[in-house]
Amino acid sequence: MTTTAQPRTATTPSDHDTATGSLVERARTIGPRLAEHATRHDVDGTFVTEAYEALRDAGLLKAAVPLELGGEGATIRELAALQRELAHHCGATALASSMHQHVVAFTAWRYRRGLPGAEATLRKVADDGLLLVSTGGGDFTHPRGEAVPVEGGYRVSGRKRFASQSRHGSVMSTMFVLDDAEQGRRVLNVAVPLAAAGVTVIDTWDTLGMRGTASHDILLEDVFVPEDKVLANRPYGVIDPPLQVIASVAFPIIAGVYLGVAEAAYAEALGSAAARPEDPSVQRTVGLMRHKLQVAESALDGALHVIGDDPTPSHDRFLAAMTAKAEIAHAGIEVVDLAMDVSGGPAFFTGSVIERAYRDVRAAKFHPLTPEATLLESGRQALGVPGLLAQA
């Protein structure tokens, strides 16, 4: 667990760099290119195209692919640190690409267990630049849309929300509800090419923050999914063992993004505070921001320790990921608010790093489970009351 003197920025190397190798350093190197276009994409609500070009050029979009398949073999901890560094420069880039990264990381988890289709997907990510889109944040335990059995597979229909990089991805990892005569309501995890007949991206992304993620809606109308593209058949309405693993992989990576956004605001506020270092109110506010960030960092480090590099289904791992995410959401919002207080009027203007962070960091509370739902689920487990978590 780190106890850095101050949060990491583009100019403050961290002890974590020794663990993440060249990934964080490469992210730091391309950081100025991300930052150069961040304001324009935020104002226009357009996708962070130049940032993705930089990510590809730096080989960072294949970070989670195993070494033997042409990637970097990055662990969950390393991916969280990578996305955290990217967020120092552009929160939208970090969040959008984290959706690709966690799907690749879970596919690598499947590959290590010899599950079908995983190796082929990972090779396409490494060799062809395949970009994966996740709809899990909008689906999770209660997906939108239905699957109907047909010869050779299923026909799926539904509207998916919060699909980051939706116009630029290749394949979406998504979910549909199947009404099974014998097993009741089920959830099918499926892979659907975005170019498939019946798939339409609808421009809906006009939001308070994270505007450069291009998280438009995706409409699927009677889309055929072959049987071999069904990755899981799970119970409806619960966090079953496969979903426990997916969440344990995904949410530390996503949480790292919001910690990085808050750190960027802190670094900017620290620059403003340097003009009046003797002011006790400034001293206390800076100390409070630093305190909040160190606690949030410790929460993420603790969760990563519990989860490990290759997690198996576990209530404790799932709740560790959710607890860290909730802590970072609360701390991140408070830190960015305090950064605006310290920096004063200039931080209120569009184009300010703090103003953008003020809006971006608020998206942290919309990922499942919400902070309040996390408290409820944690309390249920402690009291032995049935909740969303299914038994492994």
pLDDT in tens, 196-254: 999 999 999 999 999 999 999 999 999 999 999 999 999 999 999 999 999 999 999 99
Cβ neighbours, 10 Å, residue 53:
12
Q: Mean pLDDT in the chain?
A: 94
Q: What angle do CA 117, 120, 123 make, to 5 degrees?
A: 145
The residue among 116, 82, 87 whose CA lies nearest residue 102 is 82
Between CA 103 and CA 108 the distance in angstroms is 9
Structure confidence by residue, pLDDT tens digits, 39-62: 999 999 999 999 999 999 999 999
* CA atoms lying within 13 Å on the CB side of residue 365: 12
pLDDT of residue 21: 60
Select from 202, 203, 196 the least CA-distant residue to 222: 196
The pLDDT of residue 18: 42
Half-sphere exposure (CA, 13 Å, Cβ side) for 154?
26
Contact 257, 250 (CB under 8 A): no
Q: Quick check: 144 pLDDT over 90?
A: yes
Question: What homologous superfamily is domain 241-383 in, according to CATH?
Answer: Butyryl-CoA Dehydrogenase, subunit A, domain 3 (1.20.140.10)
Q: Comparing 31 with 15, which gets the higher pLDDT? A: 31
Q: Give the C-alpha distances (Å, rounded to integers) separating 243 from 124, 194, 233, 265.
A: 24, 23, 11, 33
The residues near 192 (Cβ < 8 Å, ≥ 6 apart) are: 156, 171, 172, 174, 199, 220, 223, 225, 229
CATH number, span 17-130: 1.10.540.10
How much is the pTM?
A: 0.93
* Structure confidence at residue 2 as a pLDDT band (50, 70, 90): very low
- CA–CA distance, 102 with 172 (Å, rounded to integer): 13
Q: Is the pLDDT of residue 10 over 70?
A: no
Q: Quickly state the pLDDT bin for 20 (edges 50, 70, 90).
A: low
115 has pLDDT over 70: yes
Of the candidates 24, 27, 26, the one whose C-alpha atom is nearest the C-alpha of residue 16 is 24
Reply yes or no on whether the pLDDT at 190 is more than 90.
yes
Domain residue ranges of the chain, discontinuous segments joined by +: 17-130, 134-235, 241-383
How high is the pLDDT of residue 390? 78
Rounded CA separation 330/327 (Å): 5
For 253-258, what is the mean pLDDT? Answer: 98
Distinct helix (H) and strand (E) counts, the chain: 12, 8
C-alpha dihedral, 342 to 87 to 364 to 210, nearest 10°: 100
**For the domain 134-235, what is the CATH code?**
2.40.110.10
pLDDT tens sequence across 279-302 = 999 999 999 999 999 999 999 999
259: left (phi over 0), alpha (psi -120 to 50) or beta: alpha
Q: In this predicted model, what pLDDT tens digit does every residue of 259-283 receive, in sequence order?
A: 999 999 999 999 999 999 999 999 9
Decide: residue 378, CB within 10 A, 0-12 exposed, 13-18 middle, 19+ buried: middle
Q: Answer whether residue 355 shows pLDDT above 80.
A: yes
Q: How far apart are CA 308 and CA 206, in angstroms?
A: 37
pLDDT above 50 (res 94): yes
Q: What is the tens place of the pLDDT at every residue in 372-389? A: 999 999 999 999 999 998
What does residue 234 show for φ and ψ, rounded to 5 degrees? -125, 160
| Cα angle: 92, vertex 98, 100; to 5 degrees | 115
Q: From the CB of residue 176, how many other CB atoms can be counted at a distance below 10 Å?
A: 28
Per-residue pLDDT, 8: 37
